[in-house]
Amino acid sequence: MKKYTIKDIAELAGVSKGTIDRVIHNRGNVAKDVEDKVKQLLSDIDYQPNLIARNLKNNRIYQIGALLPDPKKDAYWEVCSDGIQQALSEFSAFDIRMNTFLFDPTDTKSFVAQHKKLLDSAPDIILMVPLFYKEAKTVLEQYKSLNIEVCTFNNQIDASSASFIGQDLYQSGRVAAKLMHSIIDNGDMAIIHIDEKYKNAVHMQEKEKGFKSYFEDLNGFKDAILKCKIRYTETEDKLRDFLKDHPNLTGIFVTNSKAFHVARLLESENKNHIKLVGYDLLAENVNYLKDGVIDFLIHQNPRQQAYLGLKFLIEHLVFEKEIPGKHLLPIDIINSENVKPFLRA
């Protein structure tokens, strides 16, 4: 129960604290028999260094670099800064400096350019959203060769050693399917990808797979699952045509945060009977959720993703904790009645 200090151990071992220190940090210059004895003692009493004292001595300024999408270009990212602020305030006892570089989420060049600036700022460790697969992979390799640890969130870049925080997208497709299944009786469904064009579409494909797999697992399911890919610029016309072509649609699943486009159309064309499930708590989505045009939203919780990522990084720097290789957040189901606390949390 008692907490041992280096001094205590020195007395127990009959040597000076300098020797204990050399053993703990494997700094050599210790007689073999003494080293063995001290190591035994350390493990016997399960010595845990006082991290407070260690940090006081180290007294370092930690530089954390962040490479994040610009919230001005896509409101989805707005809440990330809240999560970052929360983590910083929890660790305000330590001197942690953040250098944040924002890139345009529609522009791979901007990503690379901001990455270069980030590198110049000589960060100890990095938090990033690896939005573009190819570019991110190169960038991550570069950090690896420099021995700078990275925590990524939102997108998982496979075959990278970087740690990842996010959701199981396949499973979130299944969640959407289950929700859809519980609110529609029968009739055709559609999966709509409103492609922001810039994102490599792995995201949406995973969700589609999960959605389909749920219905394939049901026996005796007969209705059709249609699919529709729409470019961001031509959204409205294409959507209107699609609805006209498929008059007996009963449910629509939008695989990203753009469900409000569909909601707008459903409302203006008085097709409220079509159930709608989408992603993310953008203000426009939330409004349609409250109005009953959108039935469910799945919350990807970018705020929590950023918070956790930064927290892991700080705990690694300060307490030498391991950064988890992969951390999956729960998939939050949101309807009009439980949305409120999620907007701030």
Can you tell me which of 43, 46, 57, 158 binds DNA, judged by CB under 7 A?
57
Q: Which stretch binds a copy of itself (CB under 8 A): 18-26, 87-95, 243-251, 279-287?
A: 87-95
Q: What is d(CA 151, CA 326) in angstroms, rounded to the nearest whole number?
A: 10
Extract the tokens encoding 180.
């859809």
Can you tell me which of 26, 29, 92, 270 binds a copy of itself, judged by CB under 8 A?
92
Q: Is 12 a residue that touches DNA (CB under 7 A)?
A: no
CA atoms within 13 A on the CB side of 7: 2
On whether the CB atoms of residues 332 and 342 are closer than 8 A, the answer is: yes
Q: What is the DSSP string of 254-320?
A: ESSTTHHHHHHHHHHTT-TTSEEEEE---HHHHHHHHTTSS-EEEE--HHHHHHHHHHHHHHHHHH-
CB of 51 to DNA, least distance (A): 8
Can you tell me which of 1, 2, 26, 29 binds DNA, judged by CB under 7 A?
29
Q: Is 198 a residue that touches a copy of itself (CB under 8 A)?
A: no
Burial degree of 280 (CB within 10 A; 0-12, 13-18, 19+): buried
Alpha helices (H) in the chain, listed in sequence order? 6-13, 17-24, 32-44, 51-58, 80-90, 108-120, 133-145, 169-183, 202-217, 235-245, 259-268, 283-290, 302-319, 339-344
Residue 93: contacted member of a copy of itself, DNA, none (CB under 5 to 8 Å, by partner type)? a copy of itself
Q: Is 40 a residue that touches DNA (CB under 7 A)?
A: no
Q: Is 39 a residue that touches DNA (CB under 7 A)?
A: no
Q: Is 321 a residue that touches DNA (CB under 7 A)?
A: no
Query: 94 vs 198, which CB is nearer to a copy of itself?
Result: 94
Residue 21: contacted member of DNA, a copy of itself, none (CB under 5 to 8 Å, by partner type)? DNA
Spatial neighbors of 319 by CB under 8 A, at least 6 apart, are: 51
Spatial neighbors of 164 by CB under 8 A, at least 6 apart, are: 151, 152, 153, 156, 157, 325, 326, 327
User: What is the distance of C-alpha 100 from the center of its chain?
Assistant: 17
Site size for a copy of itself (CB under 8 A): 41
Stated as kind and residue range, the H or E segment containing 96 is strand 95-103
Q: Is 320 a residue that touches a copy of itself (CB under 8 A)?
A: no
Q: Is 306 a residue that touches DNA (CB under 7 A)?
A: no
Q: Is 313 a residue that touches DNA (CB under 7 A)?
A: no
CB of 123 to DNA, least distance (A): 21
CB of 195 to a copy of itself, least distance (A): 25
Can you tell me which of 16, 121, 142, 287 binds DNA, judged by CB under 7 A?
16
Q: What is d(CA 1, CA 61) in angstroms, rounded to the nearest whole number?
A: 33
Can you tell me which of 38, 165, 295, 306 binds a copy of itself, judged by CB under 8 A?
295
- Distances, alpha carbon 251 to alpha carbons 36, 95, 179, 294, in Å: 69, 51, 11, 11
Can you tell me which of 11, 21, 136, 264 binds DNA, judged by CB under 7 A?
21
Can you tell me which of 129, 139, 150, 175 binds a copy of itself, judged by CB under 8 A?
175
Question: For binding to a copy of itself (CB under 8 A), which residues are involved?
Answer: 3, 48, 50-53, 55-56, 92-95, 168, 171-172, 174-175, 177-179, 182-183, 185, 214, 295, 319, 328-338, 340-342, 345
Binding site for DNA (CB under 7 A): 3, 5-7, 15-19, 21-22, 24-25, 28-32, 34, 49-50, 53-54, 56-59
